[in-house]
Structure 1
């Protein structure tokens, strides 16, 4: 371009003109500045160290109590410069009882910084450990290998993105079904109690009903129902979030022992199970109650007066559990009779 301005039509008058010299100086300055800027940006991009990136993430999430277990291990993770050269996206699982290891952390990190909208349906990512992650999406609800992502990203910029997920991805595969809000109830037959079987035996074919309230139980308004399988488990999926009261029965065996055939003030009342007596020593140490013996149910002494009687009735069903969105809540129920030891 400079040569053209000097040689155009062979006219050198413009080249000797002060205006041209000023223009040339300006152009040269812009060129030099541009080179310096490009060089500076390149240096800045290359200067991002792995530990600096991890420190940036963990410092931003220092107040995120729900993912502290994962973040504590992430702080000490060792990454290479090549692994973070494109930035990273971290899928941080909510706190669980399962211990998090450094190897597990790499199952939850992918190269590149991806926001919520870039996690589109059927997209496949590979983690730093080589694990495959498959995205499933319905509107703004996202699952990774079946595990639900908890809303939009909690950290996002060109170098880092962090999303919370409901549980660890380590044991998942791309073929896993989408997690829903689920309650898994294991039903034990207390009449089969023995010293070797302190809970009794699991029972197949028992009915498990969930009620939104104890009043719904009185009215017979079942929210969800299922039967136990050969392992004694009833799995109730795709539930609305909330608390559910649990009724379980098989024939005349049940976990709801009504004090009367008629409701009292709109509720069925009765004794609440707190376990099964395992020994005579437990019987002697417990509140006084009818039919107290190893293998029989231990009832809750509501008013703590040392005697289980009509003043200790609860609203039924007594057992309940609260669902957790997109996770499986597990619980156990014992069924039997008022007197399991009766011949």
Structure 2
């Protein structure tokens, strides 16, 4: 997992450079890679779903029809990618599937397709996860107590959605709603999470992580009132031994997941601690510093909703414009 940070950073830099020429949105979505939330669970390291892809590039519309997709299939632990799928569906009721392996190109295999509805809008997607980590190809690092896909991944997305015009016009009556989605029709950005550290640059509010408590919400960079799971409680170490605390005896990772609400990324740039309890800190160890990361890492947000800086043990900021988590908050208008 640790070496995946380096690879993911490379993907992120490449994506950021492409923003000069095009807009993009960066949130990995395992379902758009044809995976189930349980496919990467650490309790079944030899499992591989042949429909699931560790990297996927696709073009689809808002009806869910996918015109084109290409990427390598997921693999068991310590197994390098060995099969690349190419799926083509022009909306005529048949999807043509090809695959490439060491023996050549195979196909097409014809399976039932779906009707194309380009008038609903178009979506360009790129996503990758740490199944591609060269230090542990095929890594399974999520928990069966959550079942929401891998904890580490990144993506780029560009969307054109004509149906968003109506909600955008309605948002003009609310400053906070407008600032959370300031651009109609199109949305774009990029994002990535690895070893507990997440970043996102996006043009519109998006759900970063949906926890088990649907009655509460927060922005990912706002740590006010957050109770963090223990440092060593993570996808592969999700039992009571690593996850209980003096205040919460007998808790496992699933209990911490049920305390997390809906977390959002907002328009602009944000750097923050992974809100998913499955995330496992370890960036300092990656770069050769034998100590634990500051946990949570200080957050940074600069965007249409305002400015938020600090938090966590490494950066406590206290003053008239700070919150209870020790963060400087300037005009956080999208709460």
TM-score normalised by structure 1 residue count: 0.21
Structure with more strand by fraction:
2
The higher-RCO structure (CA 8 Å, 6+ apart) is 2
Structure with more helix by fraction:
1
The structure whose Rg is larger is 1
